């Protein structure tokens, strides 16, 4: 990693706000402002604003765009209506997860893929390599800034800045060309926190204006800027996977519990054969959630034991500020995967007791609309 | 932020002489760097600790860090309340968040630690 770190258009705003900056996926990103716990709780109970402009945006335009996406990903893009988004893995022919991404159906013959920062270059190369005729592929990462406004009061805050009918945007749908704080934005009801909320795609040159406007509009609601630290504890509690930690090219979507995103009936796609075979033969391992009986943290790579024998390893672990437990994800043999099963995590030479736990660890209360 | 009456280790522990005993914790600098401490592992009462050898572990969401004893001797008290509520390390590192009390074998070891000014120079804080 000798390349200089990239900075989002909000870099100066983060530094001015006292953020602690860290390298992440080739970018210099804020890991925290006031503190991970505080930011986490703000998102769970009020609202938080994240700069996730490091995520990659790839535009596919042309009559070949739809068929190309359908060939590249495991989910069925044919079911995605105009102004709808979809979560999907993108796999190798062996079924390994190259990346997990969002597909936005932006227009007729126009899709936008939103990919992980650390994978943007590799994804682009892969997409170009598999592109046939009549599709234009454009990397728009640098020109698009992405702000995630998340939390139970997200809609109320955003409504102060836009005339758009936010309540009409359902989960995993979006509106393009919406005015937010006087600037043009694509607004989708999506996120990575387990809370209600929106993601705002804006022109990079307008990012600081929109960022400040959202923080200002949310002041009365108790909004906080939130960093990657809180983003990680929030997604983990919500049982959402992180590519590069919980999955990579050596594991399949079926092994990590993403079977619902693998549509073998949709027609041919890269990885279909291998995934169909694995589905019929059975899985070699499964990603499960676990809860520890102490507050000590199980970190990526720590061994998972059952009855003193190593049976797997941890892929993600943290203290869950809302569930108030040490939680994590890891691989175990399928026979050990049922919730309630006693396991132990080897932490600095000590076996810390825990239990396989059904995901998600946290589910937001859904009362009223 | 760095009381004059304490001695400081280069690993960011503080030592406070209380008669014939020494109370030990970590500095505000260390607590801030860790941020959001969620777990502390302390030795048992009666166990022996050695000068600048590890006596425990402190862990935040972000990182895990060893604790080094600024003095050799026998652990005569541990802060059990801290084990249950480790987040006070971030709010009161010199008070409520003390970690262990040691009956030192050799109080002169404390001379090998830093005073507040030298510690602040080490961490790059301007002296007040």
How many angstroms separate the CA of residue B58 from the nearest CA in chain A?
A: 9
pLDDT at residue A122 above 90? Answer: yes
Cβ separation of A297 and B61 shorter than 8 Å?
yes
Mean pLDDT score across all residues of chain A: 96
Nearest by CB to A319, which of B41, B57, B61? B61
Nearest by CB to B38, which of A32, A299, A319? A319
Mean pLDDT of the region A323-350: 96
Question: What was the pLDDT predicted at A133?
Answer: 86
Mean pLDDT score across all residues of chain B: 94
Chain A, window 108-167: residues with a beta carbon less than 8 angstroms from a chain B beta carbon: none
Residues of B in contact with A345 (CB under 8 A): none
Residues recorded for chain B: 128
Where does the pLDDT of residue A135 fall: very low under 50, low under 70, confident under 90, or very high at 90 and above?
very high
Where does the pLDDT of residue A369 fall: very low under 50, low under 70, confident under 90, or very high at 90 and above?
very low
Question: pTM higher than 0.90 for the full model?
Answer: yes
Mean pLDDT of the region A45-59: 98
Interface A:B, Cβ pairs < 8 A: 37
pLDDT at residue A367 above 80? Answer: no
Nearest by CB to B62, which of A229, A296, A348? A229
Bridge partners of residue B21, in order along the sequence: B18
Q: Inform me whether the C-beta atom of residue A295 falls under 8 Å from chain B C-beta atoms.
A: yes
Cβ separation of A319 and B35 shorter than 8 Å?
no
Interface ipTM: 0.84
Residue A52 CA: distances (Å) to CA of A116, A118, A198:
10, 12, 12
pLDDT digits (tens, 9 = 90+) for B83-103: 999 999 999 999 999 999 999
Cβ separation of A229 and B59 shorter than 8 Å?
no
Cβ separation of A319 and B86 shorter than 8 Å?
no
Question: What was the pLDDT predicted at A368?
Answer: 46
How many angstroms separate the CA of residue B102 from the nearest CA in chain A?
A: 24
How many angstroms separate the CA of residue B17 from the nearest CA in chain A?
A: 30
- The CATH H-level (homologous superfamily) assignment of domain A285-357 is Aminomethyltransferase beta-barrel domains (2.40.30.110)
User: Are A44 and A234 a contacting pair, CB within 8 Å?
Assistant: yes
Tally of CB atoms within 10 A around A94? 14
Q: Which two tokens stand for residue A2?
A: 């000798």
Question: What was the pLDDT predicted at B126?
Answer: 65
- The CATH H-level (homologous superfamily) assignment of domain A11-52+142-237 is Probable tRNA modification gtpase trme; domain 1 (3.30.1360.120)
Query: What angle (nearest 5°) sits at the alpha carbon of residue A364, between those of residues A20 and A359?
Result: 85
pLDDT at residue B128 above 60? Answer: no
Share of chain A above pLDDT 70, in %: 99
Nearest by CB to A297, which of B35, B38, B87? B38
- Domain ranges in chain A? 11-52+142-237, 56-139, 285-357
pLDDT digits (tens, 9 = 90+) for A216-270: 999 999 999 999 999 999 999 999 999 999 999 999 999 999 999 999 999 999 9
pLDDT at residue A1 above 60? Answer: no
Q: Which two tokens stand for residue A283?
A: 């899985």
Query: How would you classify residue B19: left for phi > 0, otherwise alpha for psi between -120 and 50, otherwise beta?
Result: left
Q: Inform me whether the C-beta atom of residue A361 falls under 8 Å from chain B C-beta atoms.
A: no
Residue A207 CA: distances (Å) to CA of A173, A215, B34:
22, 12, 30
pLDDT digits (tens, 9 = 90+) for B73-87: 999 999 999 999 999
How many angstroms separate the CA of residue A4 from the nearest CA in chain B?
A: 23
Cβ separation of B39 and A299 shorter than 8 Å?
no
Share of chain B above pLDDT 90, in %: 92
Question: What was the pLDDT predicted at A56?
Answer: 98
Where does the pLDDT of residue A132 fall: very low under 50, low under 70, confident under 90, or very high at 90 and above?
confident
CATH class of B7-111: mainly beta
Residues of B in contact with A231 (CB under 8 A): none
Residues of A in contact with B66 (CB under 8 A): none
Nearest by CB to A297, which of B39, B87, B90? B39
pLDDT at residue B53 above 60? Answer: yes
pLDDT digits (tens, 9 = 90+) for B59-78: 999 889 999 999 999 999 99
pLDDT at residue B127 above 60? Answer: no
- The CATH H-level (homologous superfamily) assignment of domain A56-139 is Aminomethyltransferase beta-barrel domains (3.30.70.1400)
Q: Inform me whether the C-beta atom of residue A236 falls under 8 Å from chain B C-beta atoms.
A: no
pLDDT digits (tens, 9 = 90+) for A81-98: 999 999 999 999 999 999
User: Are B119 and B13 a contacting pair, CB within 8 Å?
Assistant: no
């Amino acid at each position: 990693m000798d390349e200089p770190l990239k900075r989002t258009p909000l870099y100066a705003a983060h530094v001015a706000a006292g953020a602690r900056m860290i390298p992440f996926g080739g970018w210099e990103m804020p890991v925290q402002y006031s503190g991970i716990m505080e930011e986490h709780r703000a998102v769970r109970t009020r609202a938080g604003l994240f700069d996730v402009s490091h995520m990659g945006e790839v535009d596919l335009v042309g009559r070949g765009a739809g068929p190309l996406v359908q060939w590249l990903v495991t989910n069925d893009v044919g079911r995605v209506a105009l102004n709808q988004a979809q979560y999907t893995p993108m796999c190798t022919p062996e079924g390994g997860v190259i990346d997990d991404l969002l597909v936005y159906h932006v227009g007729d013959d126009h899709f936008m893929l939103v990919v992980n920062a650390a994978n943007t270059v590799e994804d682009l190369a892969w997409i170009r390599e598999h592109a046939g005729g009549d599709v234009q592929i454009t990397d728009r990462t640098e020109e698009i800034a992405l702000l995630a406004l998340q939390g139970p009061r997200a809609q109320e805050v955003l409504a102060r800045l836009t005339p758009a009918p936010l309540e009409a945007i359902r989960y995993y749908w979006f509106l393009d060309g919406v005015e937010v704080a006087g600037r043009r934005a694509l607004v989708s009801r999506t996120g990575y926190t387990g809370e209600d909320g929106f993601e705002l795609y804006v022109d990079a040159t307008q990012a600081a204006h929109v960022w400040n406007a959202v923080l200002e509009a949310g002041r009365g609601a108790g909004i906080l800027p939130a960093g990657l630290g809180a983003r990680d504890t929030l997604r983990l509690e919500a049982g959402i996977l992180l590519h590069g930690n919980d999955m990579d090219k050596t594991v399949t979507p079926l092994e990590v519990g993403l079977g619902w995103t693998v549509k073998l009936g949709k027609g041919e796609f890269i990885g279909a054969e291998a995934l169909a075979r694995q589905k019929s033969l059975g899985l070699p391992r499964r990603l499960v959630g676990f809860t520890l009986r102490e507050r000590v943290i199980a970190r990526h790579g720590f061994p998972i034991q059952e009855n003193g024998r190593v049976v797997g390893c941890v892929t993600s672990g943290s203290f869950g500020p809302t569930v108030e437990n040490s939680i994590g994800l890891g691989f175990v043999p399928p026979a050990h995967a049922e919730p309630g099963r006693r396991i132990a995590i080897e932490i600095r030479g000590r076996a810390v007791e825990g239990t396989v736990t059904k995901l998600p660890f946290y589910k937001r209360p859904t009362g009223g609309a | 932020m760095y009381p004059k009456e304490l001695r400081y280790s280069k690993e960011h522990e503080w030592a406070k002489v209380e008669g014939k005993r020494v109370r030990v914790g970590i500095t505000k600098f260390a607590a801030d760097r860790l941020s959001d401490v969620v777990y502390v592992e302390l030795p048992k009462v009666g166990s022996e600790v050695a000068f600048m050898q590890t006596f425990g572990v402190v862990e935040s969401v972000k990182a895990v860090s060893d604790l080094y004893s600024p003095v050799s001797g026998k652990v005569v008290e541990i802060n059990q309340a801290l084990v249950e509520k480790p987040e006070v390390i971030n709010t009161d590192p010199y008070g409520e968040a003390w970690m262990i009390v040691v009956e030192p074998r050799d109080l002169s070891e404390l001379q090998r630690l830093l005073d507040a000014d030298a510690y602040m120079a080490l961490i790059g804080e301007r002296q007040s």
